[in-house]
Amino acid sequence: MKISIPKTMATLALPLAMSASITAAATDGGIKVEHLGTNNTLVRVEGDGRYLMLPVQESNDDATINVLVDGRLDRTINVRLAKAKTDYSVPFDLSPYKGHDIVLNIVTSQNRASVREAKEDACWSNITLTDTIDTTNREKYRPVYHHTPLYGWMNDPNGMFYKDGEWHLCYQWNPYGSKWQNLSWGHSVSRDLINWEHRPDAVLAPDGLGMIFSGSSAIDTSGSAGFGKDAVIAMYTSAAASQVQSLAWSHDNGETFTKYPGNPVLTLESEARDPNMFWDAERNIWVLTLAHALDHEMLIYTSPDMKEWTLQSRFGRGLGAQDGVWECPDLFELPVDGSDRKKWVLLCNINPGGPFGGSATQYFTGDFDGKTFTPDTDAEGNVPTKWLDYGKDNYATVSFSDAPDSRRTVIGWMSNWQYAAEVPTRQFRSANTLPREIELFTADDGQVYAASVPSPETEALRGKLTQNVGRAGIGKKPRSYALPSANDGVCEILLDIEAPKSKNVTMTLGNKEGEHVTLTYDVAANTLSFDRRESGITDFSQDFPAVTTTPVFGQNGHLELRLFIDRSSIEVFANGGRGVMTNLVFPTVPYSTLSLKSDGGNAKIKNLKIYSIGI
Ligand code: FRU
């Protein structure tokens, strides 16, 4: 039977039901289990069923599962097979092997005193065969309108492209568990950047060269790489003992990819990853930016055919934030202040070393001559450090290639390596940020900065207008407004404030449990801070409770905010995306009120609109 993936919305990324209730004895249920030793077991598939459900216990170490097809090793996957209890099960799709003998040769990591002890592991009696997987959502914190994987772990968005009216979002995916492992490219497709259809299978899965790490895709309109005109070409990092760069192409708009037999096409003697390429139409050549991770620099290459690459320059040593590894670059040109003047932007994700700890996206503005990126400097001749988002949960931000209308649409991974594997979800982990448009503006200090504006498509999320306030004063005493209750309170808030005489304006999102998020506009400092220390569940990591602060580039105490609240995230866009913070939150019950107060002088609400969201 076929798994049917409905035309879903972002939210309908549904996890698998637990299969722990389905039992399979040692030699029935179509599965034969033979214990060979204290840590080695053979599982023979004798019955029918599309999926072999593998029971997972997250706190266990990975077991190595060698999949033997007619006695030959087909592939190896790593799964945290259950020992004491089954947290959830993951499907191993048997359909590609129909008509063949399948044996899993499993090496577990547990130390066992005897085979008898090994036999007692929960996984052996809970491995089952099934034709369908139940994808009903059972996760309280699964977002309603942000993209999440159908199940399993997700990190970076990668290989994103636009073609024939569709946005393609690939992502780092573990189909066999909700922690980082077995890195593959998952794939979701959207016509409107909001409603995503999930493709059930990984489009690129690990092979003899390693796992499939991040990379990019581009449309080869001229067929320069020899894979055909208009082929979608993905370049990614094959990661095993070494990190090398590989190619794959698709003739069906990314539904399936064929790996280039000549891989790898680019190797170095040190860690380098996340190739990001684009066609330089002015110079008729491919340009590639590659993160030289531990050396804290980006390498820039060119190639006529994506196979032979020439190193043209290196950028970054000693510049910007240097604390962590440099990862996931992106290089593109945009107009400044909507004028004819243009600048290049080099996105350079780093981890750790973000402004509030852990992962973050820094960027440089500058010029690019086809070979070398020259960064902008300040009045003293220094290269300023700039951040795309001052929250803790926007990482690996990169753009869609070939987007229409010269748009530079980006998506980030809405988490942080500090705690991504510990957040209180189970059958999936991590969501993406909303899509955002990058725009360049010149600030009062003369520097060019990048604003991130929610993509226009996000306006379609607006449901009922539940609050519409024209004008209201804000003083010392909090003024409160109810948030919508539909859909666990997910909503968009538009707030326009005049506070030239105020010291601080505080905006608090709270629930009946006393959990809250406090946003504080510091008028003199021209900053907005986001305090999530008492936002709900915070104790899964000591790095989670935090206060983050962004510059807002406001004028005369004017602050205009757009807040997007989903079940476990808040995205704050201040002053047209000039100040941005993305932070996860896990309230035990939804936030139900917004209250505002002003200290050190009165302020005014010029406009407040709250929309429910119900896709
Ligand atoms: C960034 C990153 C990339 C790498 C991928 C592996 O989050 O570390 O550099 O390609 O994740 O999943």
pLDDT, tens digit (0-9, with 9 covering 90-100), for 49-97: 999 999 999 999 999 999 999 999 999 999 999 999 999 999 999 999 9
Helix or strand (DSSP H, E) at 89: strand 88-93
Q: In a mutational test of the pocket of ligand 1, which residue from 211, 237, 274, 430 has the highest number of ligand atoms less than 8 Å from its CB?
A: 274
The pLDDT score that the predictor gives to residue 262 is 98
Please name which of 193, 186, 184 lies closest in space to residue 162, comparing C-alpha atoms. Answer: 193
Ligand 1 atom closest to Cα of residue 413? 7
Single pTM value for the model = 0.94
Pocket of ligand 1 (CB under 6 A): 155-156, 172, 183, 213-214, 237, 273-274, 327-328, 396
Quickly state the pLDDT bin for 6 (edges 50, 70, 90). very low
Say how many Å lie between the CA of residue 55 and the centre of ligand 1.
26
Amino acid at 330: D
Tokens 């500090």, residue? Answer: 418
Cβ atoms within 10 Å of 361's Cβ, excluding its own: 27
Q: Bin 139: left if φ > 0, else alpha if -120 < ψ < 50, else beta.
A: beta
Q: C-alpha distances in angstroms, 492 versus 392, 518, 571, 594, 614?
A: 20, 16, 10, 12, 11
Q: In a mutational test of the pocket of ligand 1, which residue from 179, 211, 213, 238 has the highest number of ligand atoms less than 8 Å from its CB?
A: 213
Say how many Å lie between the CA of residue 288 and the centre of ligand 1.
17
Question: Does the structure show a pLDDT above 60 at 16?
Answer: no
Ligand 1 atom closest to Cα of residue 274? 10
Question: Structure tokens of 485?
Answer: 């209750």
- Rounding to the nearest 10 degrees, give the CA dihedral for residues 574, 576, 577, 580: 0
Residue 318 and residue 179: Cα distance in Å, rounded?
Answer: 33
Say how many Å lie between the CA of residue 392 and the centre of ligand 1.
17
Peptide bond before residue 264 is cis, with ω within 30 degrees of 0: yes
Residue 508 near residue 595, CB atoms below 8 Å: yes
Say how many Å lie between the CA of residue 156 and the centre of ligand 1.
6
491-510: per-residue pLDDT in tens? 999 999 999 999 999 999 99
Q: In a mutational test of the pocket of ligand 1, which residue from 328, 349, 361 has the highest number of ligand atoms less than 8 Å from its CB?
A: 328
Ligand 1 atom closest to Cα of residue 327? 9
Residue nearest atom 6 of ligand 1, based on CA coordinates: 213
Counts of helices then strands in the chain (DSSP H, E): 2, 43
Ligand 1 atom closest to Cα of residue 213? 10
Residue 292 and residue 273: Cα distance in Å, rounded?
Answer: 7
Say how many Å lie between the CA of residue 576 and the centre of ligand 1.
30
Tokens 């948030």, residue? Answer: 483
Please name which of 16, 29, 58, 49 lies closest in space to residue 124, comparing C-alpha atoms. Answer: 29
Q: What would the mean pLDDT of 233-249 be, rounded to a whole number?
A: 98
Tokens 């990862």, residue? Answer: 327
269-279: per-residue pLDDT in tens? 999 999 999 99
DSSP class of 476: S
Q: What would the mean pLDDT of 287-309 be, rounded to a whole number?
A: 97
Please name which of 247, 313, 254, 257 lies closest in space to residue 277, comparing C-alpha atoms. Answer: 247
Residue 535 near residue 548, CB atoms below 8 Å: no
Q: How far apart are the first and last CA of the chain?
A: 29
Q: What would the mean pLDDT of 593-606 be, rounded to a whole number?
A: 98
Say how many Å lie between the CA of residue 378 and the centre of ligand 1.
31
Residue 123 and residue 109: Cα distance in Å, rounded?
Answer: 13
Residue 297 and residue 289: Cα distance in Å, rounded?
Answer: 10
The residues carrying an active-site annotation are 156
The pLDDT score that the predictor gives to residue 28 is 56
Q: What angle do CA 162, 164, 165 make, to 5 degrees?
A: 75
Higher pLDDT, 113 or 276: 276
Sheet of strand 197-198: strand arrangement: 197-198, 184-190, 166-174, 152-163, 428-429
> What average pLDDT is seen over the chain?
94
Question: Structure tokens of 267?
Answer: 């190797």
Quickly state the pLDDT bin for 26 (edges 50, 70, 90). very low
Say how many Å lie between the CA of residue 263 and the centre of ligand 1.
20
299-335: per-residue pLDDT in tens? 999 999 999 999 999 999 999 999 899 999 999 999 9
Question: Does the structure show a pLDDT above 50 at 486?
Answer: yes
Residue nearest atom 12 of ligand 1, based on CA coordinates: 213
The pLDDT score that the predictor gives to residue 514 is 98
Residue 175 near residue 202, CB atoms below 8 Å: yes
Residue 482 and residue 495: Cα distance in Å, rounded?
Answer: 14
Question: Structure tokens of 412?
Answer: 């980030």
Helix or strand (DSSP H, E) at 582: strand 579-584
Q: What would the mean pLDDT of 269-291 be, rounded to a whole number?
A: 97
Residue nearest atom 8 of ligand 1, based on CA coordinates: 327
Residue 231 and residue 253: Cα distance in Å, rounded?
Answer: 8
Say how many Å lie between the CA of residue 213 and the centre of ligand 1.
6
Ligand 1 atom closest to Cα of residue 359? 7
Quickly state the pLDDT bin for 17 (edges 50, 70, 90). very low
Quickly state the pLDDT bin for 29 (edges 50, 70, 90). confident
Residue 311 near residue 301, CB atoms below 8 Å: yes
Ligand 1 atom closest to Cα of residue 158? 10
Quickly state the pLDDT bin for 1 (edges 50, 70, 90). very low
Cβ atoms within 10 Å of 233's Cβ, excluding its own: 24
The pLDDT score that the predictor gives to residue 21 is 27
